[in-house]
Amino acid sequence: STYYRYAAQQADPSQQSARAQRDQELGEHIQRVWDEHFHVYGVRKVWRQLLREGQQVARCTVQRLMGELGLQGVVRGKPVKTTVSDQARP
């Protein structure tokens, strides 16, 4: 049954699917890169760094795994532009 298959996979991770095993391995690499760069890198930069290190992985896979791990890069926004009133006009 499904329960016993799940229990066996939890007891012995080598019984997991190939994708689950690769996700586990890539997740460790993604976490390491994200930590090494002070939690600033987002999906694109983590993906590019993994490619530089020789890890063949798709950007969408990095995005999915970062979402599952709860990792998020820093969003640098534009400064808020407030209204500049023209004093000559009423």
Location of structure tokens 């999915």: 64
Of 70, 66, 52, 72, nearest in space to 23 by CA: 66
Per-residue pLDDT tens digits for 2-21: 999 999 999 998 999 999 99
Q: How far, in Å, CA of 67 to CA of 40, rounded? A: 15
Domain layout of the chain by residue ranges: 20-69
Per-residue pLDDT tens digits for 35-81: 999 999 999 999 999 999 999 999 999 999 999 999 999 999 988 87
Q: How far, in Å, CA of 18 to CA of 25, rounded? A: 11
Upper half-sphere CA count for residue 60 (Cβ side, 13 Å) = 0
Q: How far, in Å, CA of 71 to CA of 66, rounded? A: 5
